[in-house]
Amino acid sequence: MTYLSKSPWILHYDATSCNGCDIEVLASLTPMYDVERFGIINTGNPKHADIFVITGSVNEQNREVVRNLYEQMPNPKVVVAVGICACSGGVFRECYNVAGGIDKIIPVDVYVPGCAARPESIIDGIVTALGILETKLNAPQSGRKEQQPVELQQGGGAQ
54-107 pLDDT, tens digit per residue, is: 998 888 888 899 999 999 999 899 999 998 888 888 888 888 888 888 888 999
pLDDT at 146 over 70: no
Residue 111 · residue 158 · CB < 8 Å: no
Please name the residues in contact with 146: beta carbons below 8 A apart, sequence gap of 6 or more. none
Find the helix or strand (DSSP H, E) in which 20 lies: helix 20-27
pLDDT digits (tens, 9 = 90+) for 14-40: 888 788 888 888 888 888 888 888 888
Burial category of 89 from C-beta neighbours within 10 Å (exposed 0-12, middle 13-18, buried 19 and up): buried
pTM of the model: 0.82
Please name the residues in contact with 43: beta carbons below 8 A apart, sequence gap of 6 or more. 9, 10, 11, 49
Q: What is the DSSP letter of 147?
A: P
How many angstroms separate the CA atoms of 101 and 133, rounded? 22
Measured in whole angstroms, the distance separating CA 156 from the mean position of its chain's CA atoms is 15
Q: Name the CA radius of gyration of the chain, rounded.
A: 15
Q: For the range 92-95, what are the long-range contacts, defined as Cβ-Cβ under 8 Å and sequence gap of 24 or more?
A: 92/16, 92/57, 93/57, 95/59
Domains of the chain: 9-138+147-151 (3.40.50.12280)
Report residue 146: phi and psi, to 5°: -70, 130
How many angstroms separate the CA atoms of 112 and 127, rounded? 12
- Taking residue 74's Cβ as centre, other Cβ atoms within 10 Å add up to 10
Q: How high is the pLDDT of residue 108?
A: 93
